[in-house]
Amino acid sequence: MNTLKLRSLLEDFFIEDIGEQDITTDLIFSDDTVGEIVFLSKDEGIFCGEEIIKTGFKLLNPDLIVKVLVKDGDQIEYGQQLALVSGKISDLLKGERVVLNLIQRMSGIATLTNKAVRALNSDFTKICDTRKTTPGLRMVEKFAVRAGGGYNHRFGLYDGVMIKDNHISFAGSISRAVETVRKQAGHMVKVEVEVETEEQVIEAVNAGADVIMFDNRTPDEIKEFIKLVPSGIITEASGGIQLTNLGAFSDTGVHYISLGLLTHSYKALDISVKVKWNKGEE
C-alpha cells in the first residue's frame, strides 16, 4: 500500500471519529496513565491489516509500542492474539475503533478471496477483484484481495481502458471504440473489451484488443468463445459467477475470473480489542 495515502486516509478517519476530542476518555484518564491492549481474533480466517495497526497507532502517538504478531495473509484461529499496543491509555482508546473497523473488513475480504481461490482450485486461472469497492477504501480493499491470494483488476478509470456494453452502444461498434482509443491512448495503456456473443469476440480480436472479457457467459459458452481468441490476448470471465458455481469455470481456459462479491459481499471477520494491563494493576 502507498504509505503516504494510507496515512492520509487514517488521518481523515481519526478526525471523523475523534472530532474535537474524545470526551469520554479525556475526562476519565490523565495524560500520564499508561496501559496495553490486545487485538484478539473471535473468528477463523485470513488476517489482513498489519500496516493499519502499525501506521494508525503511530500516527496518533509515535511513542506507542506496537507489536503485530501475525502477517498479512496468515491463517488465524479463534482466540489468537493478533497484536499488542502499549502506551498512553488515551491514545489507545482513541485509535482502537478506527483500526479495528478497518482490519475486520480487510480480513473479511482476504478470507472471502481465499475461499474463492480454493473453490476455483486452478493452477492457471486467477481470481481478481473489480471496481465494486467502498468509496474511499479501494486501496485497502484491493490490498486485502491480494492478501487472500487474489489479484487486482484496474484500480480506477484512469489506469486501463475497459470498453463495456454502454461504450459500445454509444460508439456504434467495438471496432470504432477500439480504433478511437488507439489513436489517442499511449502505448502503455492496455485495452479491454467486454463481449457477449461470438460475433463480438471476433470483432474484438480483429480490432486489436489486449484483453477480452466474456460477460455473463456460461462455462460451455466460454470454452467455445476462447477458441476464437489468439494466445497473445488475455481472457477474463465475469458476471453471474458465485462461490457456489465457481468450480465450473476452473477448466474454461480463461486467464482471470473477476468477482465483485470479493469487496461488496464479504462478512467482516470478528476481532475484538481487550485491555491487557493498565497502570493501576501493576
Considering the domain architecture, whether residues 256 and 129 belong to the same structural domain is answered as yes
Q: What is the pLDDT of residue 188?
A: 92
| Residue 97 bears catalytic tag | yes
Considering the domain architecture, whether residues 90 and 167 belong to the same structural domain is answered as no
Q: Which of 22, 74, 210, 215 is catalytic?
A: 215
DSSP run (H or E) holding 57: helix 50-60
Considering the domain architecture, whether residues 65 and 147 belong to the same structural domain is answered as no
pLDDT in tens, 112-171: 999 999 999 999 999 999 999 999 999 999 999 999 999 999 999 999 999 999 999 999
Q: Which of 22, 44, 74, 97 is catalytic?
A: 97
Considering the domain architecture, whether residues 228 and 193 belong to the same structural domain is answered as yes
Considering the domain architecture, whether residues 136 and 194 belong to the same structural domain is answered as yes
The whole-model pTM stands at 0.95
Q: What are phi and psi of 127, to 5 degrees?
A: -90, 135
Closest C-alpha to 230, from 202, 194, 193, 188: 202
Considering the domain architecture, whether residues 144 and 206 belong to the same structural domain is answered as yes
Considering the domain architecture, whether residues 97 and 158 belong to the same structural domain is answered as no
State mean pLDDT over 57-78.
98
State mean pLDDT over 53-68.
98
Considering the domain architecture, whether residues 273 and 245 belong to the same structural domain is answered as no
pLDDT in tens, 157-200: 999 999 999 999 999 999 999 999 999 998 999 999 999 999 99
Q: What is the pLDDT of residue 31?
A: 79
Considering the domain architecture, whether residues 43 and 137 belong to the same structural domain is answered as no
pLDDT band at 30 (very low <50, low <70, confident <90, very high): confident
The sheet carrying 126-128 orders its strands as 126-128, 256-258, 234-238, 211-215, 191-195, 161-163
In terms of residues, how long is the chain? 282
- C-alpha neighbours within 13 Å on the C-beta side of residue 9: 20
Considering the domain architecture, whether residues 245 and 134 belong to the same structural domain is answered as yes
245 neighbors 222 (Cβ within 8 angstroms): no
- For 76, 89, 126, 166, the CA distances from 149, given in Å and listed in that order, are 15, 36, 9, 32
| Residue 164 bears catalytic tag | yes
Range of the domain at 134: 121-264
Considering the domain architecture, whether residues 181 and 108 belong to the same structural domain is answered as no
Q: Which of 42, 71, 118, 164 is catalytic?
A: 164
Provide the number of structural domains found in the chain: 2
Q: Which of 194, 203, 217, 236 is catalytic?
A: 194
| Residue 132 bears catalytic tag | yes
In the chain, the percentage of residues whose pLDDT exceeds 90 is: 95
d(CA 230, CA 196): 17
CATH number, domain of 155, equals 3.20.20.70
pLDDT band at 247 (very low <50, low <70, confident <90, very high): very high
| Residue 42 bears catalytic tag | no
pLDDT band at 282 (very low <50, low <70, confident <90, very high): very low
Q: Which of 132, 182, 190, 276 is catalytic?
A: 132
pLDDT band at 281 (very low <50, low <70, confident <90, very high): very low
Confidence check: pLDDT of 99 > 80: yes
Considering the domain architecture, whether residues 204 and 259 belong to the same structural domain is answered as yes
